[in-house]
Amino acid sequence: MIRNPILPGFNPDPSICRMDDEYFIATSTFEWFPGVQIHRSKDLVNWDLACRPLDRASQLDMRGNPDSGGIWAPCLSYSDNRFWLVYTDVKRLDGNFKDAHNYLVTSPMIGGPWSDPVHLSSHGFDPSLFHDDDGRKWYLVLQWNHVSSSVGGKPRTSAFDGILLQEWSETEGLIGEPETIFSGSSLGLTEGPHLYKRNGWYYLTVAEGGTGYNHAVTMARSRSIKGPYELHPDTHLITAKDVLDWPLQRAGHGQIVETPDGGVYHTHLCSRPLPGRFSPLGRETAIQKCVWRDDWLYLENGGPLPQVEVPGLNAAVARPPQKTERIFVGNELPPEFQWPRTPHPERLFTLTGSELRLTGRESIGSWYEQSLVARRQEHITYRVETTLSGFKPDTYQQAAGLTTYYNRHKFHLLAVSRTEELGRCLMLMSCPGNWPDGNMEFPAAHIAIEDGPVDLAVEVTGAQQQFFWRQKADWSPFGPELDASVISDEGGRGEHASFTGAFVGMIAFDTTGCGKTAEFQRFSYAPEGT
């Protein structure tokens, strides 16, 4: 059996494709660099990170992008002996406008080299590329309507202004004028288009209802690629919007894939909220077994509810959760780590051969240069430990430590810093979703510590977390138990633009501009039971 989610933690908007007997899923990475995560599998059960293809400035530069901007809903496909990836870089997401630029890169192999991008359009977001069986290629994208409000007393219209279709070729680029082929069902907020062809029918799946608890996969079909498209008899292929206590919530936005023997599956994003509807793991990737009936696709189990367990391809067994121990030796960052926005990581960190050295840049709330190296939270309960082996702050404007982090408004940070009264000290900084002001709180008194290495740890259990520290002694808690539900999609008051997931990692900042460095020797991530 396949147990969902197959990609736990922040892995939304799954686009799936197959090459021979291997499957690949691309997911959104938003403001985290490098851009786009691509996982691979041969059994649909166990998945490994294959690459993050947008890894240089010529492909992606997100400095200045807002929280939850950046890479939205990539589409991955395989045709003509190469991989094709289209993606959006969202530069603005609040107010009436979405400044969303869509690009295409290609590669002969999943691991690269990936090409420099070709700009496609900026109509909206969630681009898709469909390879028809006659050799023609078609570009789909949501059109965004910034004039989506009452004008002259007329009723308000939706900003989600339909799915556009336009032919594309390598020699000519986009051909002709874009045409609106689908405006969605009555659920609305129609986005995330993907096309699939079978038995002379074009099947269009879209995401609807917004990416919250009304989310859904909606299906329609047509004999012509340009429509008109008729809705599925049930309208929604996958959704949990009508069952509030279902284990997989917010189900929607995915893609069809066919197995070599003609079986069919559909990926989708989902979340596993804690009581009170908080999703620290963000939007995760799941997959459902499907069947064809009367030239319509249905979930194999019947009805639209996504299942936690679905039939797999073979007798593959899921790998159990494992503790990850990282000692920073060599010159490559371990693959689970990312950093925000900038394509110039050499200004943020270096690997010395025995340590990870962070160079303090702008504050923990910066949209430009933030020396934060972090990994996804993938389990409801976990413990992280790290050793801050070298850091000698000269002022309270310099700090380095361990953080649980969602965005600039939602984080907890245990840091080594300095005050005039105490000298070198530990301090606890917290921003519990204070949007839009972003003001921090200091939940515990600072304490003086000696020079030399300091071990820092955090334990997260559902909606609670506790920091710990030690220096030549046993572990001791630092500060009170904190609200971990803040570090979630819905946490605090910043939920209007919360599309990512919880991270945990190492940070250094130096708001003097002097670039004070901090060295970390190790980082361990231990899920419950490991």
The residues that are catalytic are 369
Instruction: Give dist(CA 343, CA 341) in Å, integer.
Output: 7
Please provide the DSSP assignment of 134-160 as one string: TS-EEEEEEEE-TT-S--TTPPPPPSE
Contact 352, 501 (CB under 8 A): no
Spell out the residues 6+ positions from residue 63 whose beta carbon is closer than 8 angstroms to its own.
341, 342, 367, 368, 369
Residue 450, token pair as written in the block:
């000696």
Contact between residue 91 and residue 65 where contact means Cβ atoms under 8 Å apart: yes
Bridge partners of residue 368, in order along the sequence: none
**CA angle, corner 245, sides to 243 and 249, nearest 5?**
75
3-state secondary structure of 254: coil
Rounded CA separation 250/505 (Å): 27
Q: Residue 307 carries which DSSP code?
A: P
Identify the DSSP state of 332: S
Q: Judge whether 267 and 257 are in contact, CB under 8 Å.
A: yes
Kindly give, in sequence order, each residue whose CB lies less than 8 Å from that of residue 468, ignoring residues fewer than 6 positions away: 456, 457, 458, 459, 475, 476, 477, 478
Residue 142 and residue 166: Cα distance in Å, rounded? 12
Whole-angstrom distance, CA of residue 62 vs CA of residue 29? 11
User: Which tokens sit at 349?
Assistant: 């960190």
Residue 275's CB: how many other CB atoms inside 10 A?
8
Q: What is the rounded distance in angstroms from the CA atom of residue 25 to the CA atom of residue 267?
A: 9
Measure the CA–CA gap between 37 and 94, rounded to whole angstroms. Answer: 25
Cβ-proximal residues to 78 (8 Å cutoff; 6+ apart), any chain: 17, 18, 19, 24, 84
Calpha distance 295→298 (Å, rounded): 10
Count other Cβ atoms within 10 Å, centred on residue 215: 28
Q: For residues 194 and 196, what is the distance between their CA atoms, to the nearest angstrom?
A: 7
Q: Token pair of 147, please? A: 């004039």
Q: Are residues 241 and 208 in contact, defined by beta-carbon separation less than 8 angstroms?
A: no
